[in-house]
Structure formats: C-alpha cells, structure tokens
Chain A
Amino acid sequence: MRVLVAMSGGVDSSVAAAVLAAEGHDVTGVTMKLWGGESDSGCCSVADVDDARRVASQLDIAHFVFNFSDEFDRHVVDPYVAAHASGRTPNPCIECNRHLKFAALHERATQLGFDALATGHHATIVAGHDGPRLARGHDRAKDQSYVLHVLSPEILSRCLFPVGHLGKAEVRRLAGELGLRTAAKAESQDVCFITRRGRQDFLAGRIPLRAGRLVDGQGAVVGRVDAVELVTVGQRKGLDLGGAGERRYATHVDFGTATVTVGTVDDLLVGRQALADRRWTGAEVPGAVLAQVSAHGRPALASLDGSDELVWQEPQPRVAPGQAVVLYDMDDRVVLGGAVAA
C-alpha cells in the first residue's frame, strides 16, 4: 500500500513510519509546516523538521515538507483567538486534526495517489456496522481519541494509526532499537503556536484583553483577573483571591460584564450539560454513553435528553463553553460521537 505518513519530528510519528516501512508498505514522510510565527514548544520548528527528515533518511523513505501555514491560520489560529475573544474555551488540537491533518493533508494524500494517510496518534480503528469507527489507543494514558473524535468513517477508511496498539514505552523502545534520534525526545506540550511567554502574551498582541472582577456566590467582589478572556469555567490556578481557605474555582463567567463567579468544587457540579453541534459517528443513537470532557479526563456515565442535553448520572463539574464533549460506548472504547459544550 502507498502510505503518506505525517511526521512531526516526534517519537510517535517516527515509529509509525518505521512500523509501516517494516511491514513493507511504500512509505513517504511529510512534515506539515503549520505555524509561520514564533514558537518554542511546537510541531513546526526547523529543528523538528530536521528530526523528521533525519528519521526518514534513517528509514530510507522519501520525505517532503508541505506548507499549510495559511490553512492553519484560517482554521486553527484565527478561531482560537476568536473563541477567547468571545469567552469560549477553544481546543486548537481538535481543529487542527479536523481541518488540517485529516482534511487538507488527507485530501492532498488522495490527490497524490496515496492509499492511506498515517499519523503517530495513539488511537485505534475498529470495524463498525456501517464502516470504521475510532476507538481508544492501547495506552490509555496516552490515548488521543478525544482530539480525533471528529473523524468520519469516510476519513477513517483511509487512515492508519500504526502506534495506536502500542504502549508509549514500547514506542520509545522501538525507536531506540532503530537508533532513531527522536527516541528520547520530550513530549510536545501545550498549544504548539504559543511560546513560553504564554497565552496571555499571545492573545494580547491580537485582541484587547479586559480585566475582570471575581465575585462570590452572593455577588461580593473577592478579587480580580487580568484578562477575563483567559478564564475558563473550572479553572483554579491564576485566580487572585488572596488568603488561604477552601480551594475555589471559576464556576461561571459572565463575559459581557467581565464578571467571574468563584465557588467551591461543589458549586461547579451540575446534573445536566447543554451541548451544541452534537454528531454521531454511526447511524444508531445510543441510550447511555460515557462522556469525556477533556483530553485526558475521566469519562462519566450519562444519557442524552433529546439531542442537545447531556444528563449526568452523577452530578459533574460544569464544562467550559467551547470544550469538546466526546461520547464513548459503555465499554469505554469506541467513539460514538461528540459535541461542544454550550
């Protein structure tokens, strides 16, 4: 099979390419240039391209760099900024997978005559009644099905996740055995286009940031924040409350008046969660699901009331508006669908 492997310069995609080459596929590596601006944690620095290129040369496969920086700006960076500007919490990794890796690059692979696109994601693909379904990676701690949940059966039918059935330790061991220079490379962290100066610095150059008030449940002012655009429901760090006492969290953000209500963890709990853009990956609509609300969060049992509200079996912390809610089957394995917290 002719396979295009997206190689970020990290260990997972390095081993993905190696596994496919070892299986005898006709493998070509590609590194996506995504971010044209300054970055120090990201997937698109020249050093990362060099690592990907070096791994490709060690594996004796062709390697190319494709420039998707315009698409990345349009589909990932601009919406990220717009989400913060309107008080929502974005997940740029999901948008990058949805619009870049598994759309722009996937289309490109098809156009170039490749039979499949492979990535180094920790996820697996299982057969469903009506086509392939996304499922969790073997290494639960590294599972990335949450950020891939938007992939349709049509897309999945031409995707490969060669390291999805491996543990991270196994991936590193294989990379070490092959002498790949990425074997001991640190995990990428955080949002790839945000530098170590942080989100606030990044956003301050793009949108006006407004100071906000922190109020308690009775409306009394208890502190302030530099930028209400950066406050996420459920957040604890960075809330300048002064003094000690019980841990307090942002339980509600009134974006219009720049007012953040803080409260205890119990104040965060809700019985129902409103959803938007809910979609199922297959034709059948399940009764009960396990819903996961962050990349590595623990899923909780819920059912769907109509189409737009999730009813938790046990009260759960409110989900920040804009965050993805991914719905798994009752075995906590197969992705059944997803939505965005309203």
Chain B
Amino acid sequence: MKWKDKLRFVRQNLKKNKSRVFMTVLATAMGCSFLIVLASVGFGLQKSVVDNITKGRLLTEIDIHGIREDKGYRQISDKEIAVLESIDHVKAVTRRYRVKQFAEYRIGDLKTSGQPIVAHMPAEIAAGFELAAGRMPQRDDEVIVGFHFADQLRPSAEQSGGAQVGGGGDAAPPANGRDVSAKAKELLGATMEMQVKQWFGKEQKMFEVPVTVVGIAKAPGREWIIDANVYVSEAVMKQIESFTQTAYGVLSPPDQPANAAAPGGARIYEEVKVYADDVKNVQGVVDKLTENRYASHSIVNQLEEVNTLFLIMKTGLVLVGTIAVLIASIGIYNTMTMAVTERTPDIGIMKAIGAHPKTIRGVFLIESGCIGLFGAVIGTAVAYAVGYAVNLVLPEVIRAFLNGDPPEGLRFSYIPPTLVLISVSISIGVAVLSGVRPAVRATRVDVLKALRRDL
C-alpha cells in the first residue's frame, strides 16, 4: 500500500470522530506548548547570559595575560609577540599600552585629557578593529578616537575632565544609541594637538604632537562603558619619548632626576590579544598557547562552561516538559484504542481480502503520529504567543512589584528552531509510541470474529 493511500485512509479515519480527535489534539497541543514554554525559559536565560558575555567581543579573540615563569608571570614583550604571530591559525596579534602620563588634547577651542593608547595599527587592521565612522590610520600622525571622545571635549575656558573608562566624574552624558553624533563627525579630519609635559629640573616643559583624527571607534558592547580613548601609533609614542627622555613618556617628579628607564628598550605590552582565523580553530590556538606556557583566556572557554551548565538545565526542563506530553499521550492511547475497537469490522474486512498486518499497523501509527503532529504545530504556535507575552509583560511586572529594572538584555523566554524541532519530535515520537499498542492490537484482530463468523 502506498503512503499516499495510507494518508488518505488516515484522513478519512480522523474525520470520522472529529470532536474526539480535536480533544486529543488539544491535549497534545497543551502538553507540547507547556514543554516549549518551560524549556524556552532555559533557552532565554542562556541567550541572555551568552549575549552578555559575548557582547562587543569576538569569539575568535583570546586574551593573553602573560607568560608563566617559575615565580609568577612575565608580561608580553616583542619577543613573545613574534612567537604568538607564528602560531598556526593566528590571524593577528594586537598589542596595546598606554602613555604613562595624562596628555591634553586640543581641537580648536575644545580640550580634554587622557592617557593615549599606543596600538600597533597594522595588527589592529588585521584583527578587524571596528569603526563607527571614518577610516583606519594610514600614516603615523593619524589617530582614532573613542566613540565617546567628542562628548568629553569642553571649551578651553572650562576645567577639563579626565577621559574616563567606566564613567563617573564630571563627564558629560555619553552619546545615546549606537550612532555617531554630529559633534563626533566634525572631528573627522580635524587636527588635534596632543600635549605632553616633562619636568626638566624645576622647569616643566610642554610638547605638542599634532595628529589628525581619521576614525571613530565603534561604540563599546555595553552601554555603561565610555570609550574616550585616543589610539595613537608607535611613531607618536616615539616622539613623546624623545621629548620626555623616559620610556613610555613617564612624567618624572620635579627636582628629581628621571628614575624611569630611558627610551629604546624592549616594549612591554599591557593588553595583548590573539585573534584566531576561525572560531573552530580557537581551541587549537588556546591549546598551543597553553603548551607554550602562555596564560590565556578565551571567551570560547567561558562559553563552553556556561553552555554546559545551561545544557544540563535545559535537559532538565525538557524532561519535566515531556511529562506533560506523556500525560497527553494517555489521551492519544485512549483515542486510538477506541478507534481500533470501532473499526474492528473494517479491519476484519481488510485482513480478509489480504491487507498485510504491516499495512494495518502503519495506518494506525500514522494516525497517532498525525495527532501528535497537529498537536505539536498548534502547541508551537501557542508557545510562541505565550513566550512573546511573557517577554512583554514580565519586565513590567518586575518594574511594578520589585521597584527596579530587570537586568539589561534579559530575555525570559526564547524559542529557537532547535527547541521547536526537539519539542515537535518529542510530541510526534510520544504520540507514535502511544499508538503502538492499539496498532498492534489492530493487527491481531481475528478475521472471523470481526466478520462475525460470516465466512
């Protein structure tokens, strides 16, 4: 018997007792819906946590904290950078450090101050430094400013506030949203005087390095981070060092000879990041780093731990939800058993003229599977509606009763296609399983009894 004909039989059979089938489908839909909504809480929380971890970070990014030695850790220098760059599947190695004094930035009548960050621009370009506007530096005197840099600029008459990371102080409110403000756009192409100072005996001298702003960095991943940094090249740093006569532009105290190291020594980097060429190669790179005694941290490692934890949680929720589907399966079993009883004469006739037991079993299993499928489809639609409502209403409930905002980006219910697939499979699987016994019973119908011993 062809599948098409089996389905026709099933359709005819389901139409015979619409109300009973409808109630069974409804029970299955409720079970499936409960399963999805329950598990969606696990998926939602996982998504919230994972989004929180990955926000503004690349999955291919690996932080290098230092290199292990017998007594603690040593910071990364140029020698290690070369080693890191030679590892397979490493796309780029970014390294940054700060000028060790506050510089004053002046653009026309506006000014602010902060510690410039010295970045290796070719590596930043290779790593995919993200800009909100402008372009990456191509010359040594070109710089990038942070997304909130323009907000920190004050008229020269006012007392300048420090460019800060982490907010606070008398900083102006940060730019809202992710769009570059008009004020920031005006900076593009502008010449900025970067002024550093140094004590020479009792005299403090100033030195200005003219730079051009060519790019504005993308807004930080989290709203509460203020990026008012200025990213300069190594050449700018060298100009500063030649003025201060100290490595990293350290400002020596007045009346004291410079204790700091003289410029020209090996660079020590404060922030080193390795970028793998693909997410799937991150673990391999991390393994290689560990083998070479580098202390590293990858978001992938962190995600693995979080995902493992949530996998356990989601499995638990799916199992609890499956209980609802199992309860619904009692209804399916009952419906199918009644169907077999009612259709015993028809089954007898079919067997009498030569229907194979497999055919009869197949028709009943498809029938119970269809009940599961219809229930799952309706249940999924209901679950999406419930999930949407929960995401809409629950934050308001928290605001109303707990006098506070829910955590940023928290999602209570999230229904990914995987969850739908799992739930629909469980519903259909359970429905088919609950139809097995009635289907087997159908194949065992005694022909002679069914025909009332007619033949």
Q: Are both chains from one complex? A: no
